[in-house]
Amino acid sequence: MKRTTATNDLDFEQTLLFHVELCYSVALALTRDPDRALALVGETLQWAWQRGEKMADTGSLKMSLLSELRGRYRRNCRAVRNRPASGRKPL
């Protein structure tokens, strides 16, 4: 018997919420700033939520979340590094 979409959404949501604390811990270790870590986790979780079923089908949500989180952190660092010196904010 196939599960309903609502059940699948609930399972995906619960699985996603299960990984929030881990994502925050990793983001905090990367950024060393609670506010930036929270923003990074929010962006990453929003990315995963928008992908929805595609993320649930990958089988390794934890790995996908941490990979995306690290990628976002690196892109943010690269953007700051490539910004002209006068427009840079301290990390």
Q: Which single residue is written with the structure tokens 């609670």?
A: 34
Instruction: Report if residue 22 sits inside a domain.
Output: yes
Instruction: Report if residue 17 sits inside a domain.
Output: yes
The percent of residues in the chain predicted with pLDDT above 90, rounded, is 55
Instruction: Report if residue 89 sits inside a domain.
Output: no
Task: Look up the pTM and report it.
Answer: 0.78
* 46, 48, 52, 54: CA torsion to nearest 10: 150
Mean pLDDT of 34-57: 89
Instruction: Report if residue 69 sits inside a domain.
Output: yes
pLDDT at 85: 67
Q: How many domains does the chain have?
A: 1
Domain that holds residue 40: 5-81
Tell which phi-psi region holds residue 59, choosing left (phi > 0), alpha (psi between -120 and 50) or beta: left
